[in-house]
């Protein structure tokens, strides 16, 4: 297989034959594995022997999460070259599968993030993840920024005591009440 990833043909994704229970996008590593199998005409051997280390999916082509420590010193420049990053730098950032897919899609789209976003090849296994987000997790958790927006801005001590908050407190005996409070 050529060093350049062969994306000059229409992806024939295994999603076209997915079973009825696969209504959701597959797990990201499974999608990568399928994509690599498509890339190698279905040959598991060719995927294993893939020499395209510059492909952002290369380290996870076997469908397994790579150990970043194995690549931390690797100076291989990842595609797309418009987004300069070495394999070692990618490892230092944790080797996110979604980010690898994002890079792969931008590379597939001639280096254009806009083109990747408007990709119409819905049968491609990477299509649901081309924005670098997992649609299976929509509505679950949130970014640090989003969580900061919805987190209470005041501590409990600063919150005013509501009548309902105080209803379990023992009553103050009448002779211990603040004399400034009218009976
Ligand atoms: S890593 Fe996967 S997608 Fe990339 S060139 Fe190799 S087989 Fe193809
Ligand atoms: S989903 Fe990504 S890899 Fe698949 S055809 Fe579209 S841009 Fe290319």
Q: How far is the CA of 99 from the centre of ligand 1 (A)?
A: 15
> Measured between alpha carbons, how far is 38 from 12 in angstroms, rounded to an integer?
7
Reported pTM: 0.71
pLDDT tens-place string over residues 99-130? 999 999 999 999 999 999 999 999 999 999 99
* Confidence band for 141, pLDDT divided at 50, 70 and 90: low
- Asked if pLDDT for residue 8 goes beyond 60, the answer is no
pLDDT tens-place string over residues 58-87? 999 999 999 999 999 999 999 999 999 999
> Measured between alpha carbons, how far is 54 from 41 in angstroms, rounded to an integer?
20
Q: How far is the CA of 75 from the centre of ligand 2 (A)?
A: 26
> What pLDDT does 163 receive?
40
Q: Which atom of ligand 2 is nearest to the CA of 126?
A: 1
HSE (CB half, 13 Å, CA atoms) of 19?
2
User: Do residues 33 and 41 make contact, with C-beta atoms less than 8 angstroms apart?
Assistant: no
| Mean of pLDDT values over 158-173 | 40
Q: Which atom of ligand 2 is nearest to the CA of 104?
A: 3
Q: Does the beta carbon of 39 sit less than 6 angstroms from any atom of ligand 1?
A: yes
Residue 91, both tokens: 């490892």
- Lowest mean pLDDT across 119-128, 130-139, 162-171: 162-171
């Amino acid at each position: 297989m050529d060093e350049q990833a062969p994306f000059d043909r229409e992806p024939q994704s295994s999603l076209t034959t997915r079973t009825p229970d696969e209504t959701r996008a597959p797990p990201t590593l499974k999608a990568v594995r399928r994509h690599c199998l498509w890339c190698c005409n279905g040959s598991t051997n060719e995927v294993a022997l893939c020499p395209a280390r510059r492909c952002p999916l290369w380290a996870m082509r076997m469908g397994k999460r790579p150990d970043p420590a194995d690549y931390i010193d690797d100076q291989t420049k990842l595609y797309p070259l418009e987004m300069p990053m070495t394999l070692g730098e990618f490892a230092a950032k944790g080797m996110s599968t979604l980010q690898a897919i994002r890079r792969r899609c931008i590379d597939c789209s001639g280096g254009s993030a806009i083109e990747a976003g408007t990709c119409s090849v819905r049968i491609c296994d990477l299509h649901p993840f081309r924005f670098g987000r997992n649609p299976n997790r929509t509505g679950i958790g949130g970014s640090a920024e989003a969580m900061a927006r919805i987190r209470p801005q005041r501590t409990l001590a600063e919150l005013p005591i509501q009548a309902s908050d105080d209803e379990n407190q023992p009553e103050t005996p009448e002779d211990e009440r603040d004399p400034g409070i009218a009976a």
